[in-house]
Structure 1
Amino acid sequence: MSELQRKWAKAKLASMAEAIEPEVDGETGSLPELPEFPDDDSSSASSASSTGTIIPSPSRNLFARPQGVPGGRSLEQIPWTAYFERELFLKPKDCNSNVTYHAYLTSPVGKGPLFVMHHGAGSSGLSFAVVGSEIRKRLPTAGILSVDARGHGSTTASDGADLDLKLSTLSGDLFQVIQLARAEMHWPELPPIVLVGHSLGGAVVTDLAKSGRLGASLLGYAVLDVVEGSAMDALSSMRSYLSTRPSRFASLRDGIDWHLRSRTIRNAVSARTSVPALLVRESNEKDEGESAGRSTGSRSSSGGGGNAARPWRWRTNLAATQPFWEDWFVGLSKKFLEAKGGKLLLLAGTDRLDTELTIGQMQGKYALQVFPEAGHFIHEDLPEKAAITLVDFYRRNDRGALVLPPKVSELVAQGKKV
């Protein structure tokens, strides 16, 4: 290589090095930080970006984080506002009613469908926050109405009505919420509805579908990880399970962490969204009462002394719901197969199928999707895959997409030979 060629190459390399030199912050003289991403080993870890768009930012970080969803290994709560337009507090006009229903809503657009979600026992409407967001990414006209059942979330009842958890009561509540939401939002008529229920919620949406009260508005219903046979078998071990889980947590972060470490929920973003609604801080009155019952020489770590000392307990006392467990699931398979409308069953394993549903599946009476990599909370563990399945289910049952042939009278009026 000649001296001239060496000088040219040296100058070229120097200019390239300047072009790729990273931007330095003018105020601190430091390099910008790279974004952090959720440390989630599940296949649904990508849902960290499901509530916002990663946007290049030349003035600061290389990438901006999705709004409302902190990245990294954070166990911080994600607020409901990251997923829904509004929350509704719905009071029936009946003066004898002692229930104020609470629900989260994102309204449908145009003639888009309304996915009506009902959670399982001990959970809340925020269980469907992430999967609802994923549904709207794939079907932007869709609306999401996710309810808190009585005795759960922010739905309140007086005179012990929150303990009335009979299946007929919960089914009536769901129908009531749909009608009240229509009145609140001034919809001229109900949009096309797809009912979606997880566990206990699956029994509730099936009962409402079987009742026929939604009429032609109901396109179909989807049941998530519950069938009559396996549900009835599991009831005998329910009390044992409840006795093994913690009764209190020192903080919301601890509650979220427990759900992830125990793999009750396998998606960090879902846990950070839904778990805080399952817990409530213990009141001073309760703490003082518990302390009074102990010897004066000992002091409970969960007793009063300010907010920092007051732990978080479960909002819903699942053990108190035992009298209703059989009522929820007896006859579920028969109702699921007989109710009108499209039918979808999402399971975490084929071993959950009972005999009646196995025969029904062989006869093609309903659609079945199995997610063996998910736990019981399919829609929280795998929100993207669950959303894809639900949107596809809606499209297969969308009557508006049907193109009917013209009537004979119309062809004759147009002068065509028939």
Structure 2
Amino acid sequence: MIKKVFHLPPHTNIHKSNLNFEPTSWEKYFDHKDGILIGDNKFNVYTKGILGPVLFFIHGGGFSGLSWALLVEDLSKLIDCRYISMDLRGHGETQTMDDLDLSIETLTKDVLGVLTYLFSATNTNIILVGHSMGGGVAAHVAEEGVSQSIDFIKGIILVDVVEGTAIDALSGMQSYLRSRPKSFDSVTKAIEWSVKNGQIKNVDSAKVSVPGELKKINYSSPEYAEFSNSHKHSNPAGKYSSIPENCELDDVHMFPAIQKPTEDSTKSVYVWRAQLDKSGKFWEGWFKGLSKMFINLPIPKLLILAGVDHLDKELTIAQMQGKFQMVILSRCGHSVHEDLPDEVAGVVASFLAKHKMVVLANPNMASFEPTC
């Protein structure tokens, strides 16, 4: 494992008073947003940088490509790379013929299609970075690349995803989905809920990433009627307005009753873009066989976790044998790269420099110190 080796300025701490939850545009963090047309599907990607190898980011279930925004910003201060963050099907601004098909096979095919479209005619080194479900997709993409002799995938980084732990957690996934608000009066309210409920602990990250998790629908539209009918029995509270001012931030997650209906003062509502509640049949496939697949990949590998208790037996043995590098970061939730982008950036930059994939902007800032 590696200790934190870079010391970038931390981002906003959620315990500061007078928090501002107004959304931040993607343009603050990325240079371009493009739609890549493959067949009848249009995949949305965010890009930054023009030099160096490509860090290709794959987000987790329910998130979007914008969840990597702050990490990209911090990495760009440390190393010269090209950064590409993709919205998977059913997420963000990507539009496909079947947004509900979130099978690992389809997601893998989608990512390979985008990579082939962008890089098949170039000699480019690509490092895959995947969080949670996106980590499972990244591992399948890397394995598929190996089997097809696609040699531009040079490394893989998984963020807080372990096969055994992930599969064990799936039993509580539907309960979580039922407990969260189904709609919001505004994007600002969604950001507020995500931070104060502990889904994302970093306000700056929530302000840019949460908007990518939502879509706006009009009350008068057939889509809203369908949405209303599908949720009227699952969560009577339905809409989220605000958290009581006298509620401690660290305790908000204990109070699901804060989801209160508000007056219909507008003609639209914001709902979750990804329909995860309809994708349950695919969940186990995202993670099944992941540990063995990751260990056997013949490329440099890094695993970043939010806690040592997340590690399963197979990975523990392989890590002790030196088959991959591992870093444990504390003071964060499941969205490690959003909660602690500065620390994750340091770890990623050091890993890439160690394997001679990049040159550090300031080599004196880095050191590789083993930890227990």
Cα 1:359–1:189 shift into 2, 3 Å:
same
1:146 to 57, 60, 85: 85
Shift of 1:270: 0.1
Identity, in percent, stands at 35
Cα 1:399–1:103 shift into 2, 3 Å:
closer
Distance in 2, Cα, partners of 1:210 & 1:316: 26
SS at the partner of 2:118? helix
Cα 1:115–1:400 shift into 2, 3 Å:
closer
Shift of 1:288: 5.3
Number of aligned residues? 319
Cα 1:214–1:282 shift into 2, 3 Å:
farther
- The equivalent of 1:47 in structure 2 is 11
* Letter paired with 1:335: M
2:247 is equivalent to residue 314 of structure 1: no
Distance in 1, Cα, partners of 2:116 & 2:265: 39
Counterparts of 1:270-281 in structure 2, within 5 Å, are 270-281=205-216
Gap regions ≥5 residues in structure 1:
1-42, 49-70, 295-299, 402-418
1:156 to 92, 95, 98: 95
Shift of 1:44: 8.7
- The equivalent of 1:344 in structure 2 is 302
Distance in 2, Cα, partners of 1:399 & 1:157: 34
Distance in 1, Cα, partners of 2:137 & 2:296: 15
TM-score normalised by the chain length of structure 1: 0.71
2:168 to 233, 255, 258: 233
Shift of 1:72: 7.0
* Letter paired with 1:276: P
- The equivalent of 1:204 in structure 2 is 137
Counterparts of 1:67-86 in structure 2, within 5 Å, are 73-86=19-32
- The equivalent of 2:180 in structure 1 is 245
Q: Is contact 1:44-1:383 (8 Å) kept? A: no
Counterparts of 1:121-136 in structure 2, within 5 Å, are 121-136=61-76
Shift of 1:108: 3.1
Gap regions ≥5 residues in structure 2:
1-6, 233-237, 241-260, 360-372
- The equivalent of 1:409 in structure 2 is none
Higher-Rg structure is: 1
Shift of 1:308: 2.2
Aligned-pair Cα RMSD in Å: 2.7
SS at the partner of 2:143? helix
Distance in 2, Cα, partners of 1:142 & 1:346: 20
* Letter paired with 1:144: Y
| RCO higher in structure (CA 8 A, sep ≥6) | 2
- The equivalent of 1:120 in structure 2 is 60
- The equivalent of 2:117 in structure 1 is 180
Q: Is contact 1:45-1:267 (8 Å) kept? A: no
Shift of 1:214: 6.8
Q: Is contact 2:185-2:239 (8 Å) kept? A: no
Distance in 2, Cα, partners of 1:104 & 1:349: 30
2:33 is equivalent to residue 87 of structure 1: yes
Counterparts of 1:3-42 in structure 2, within 5 Å, are none
1:358 to 296, 300, 316: 316
- The equivalent of 1:189 in structure 2 is 122
- The equivalent of 2:350 in structure 1 is 392
TM-score normalised by the chain length of structure 2: 0.80
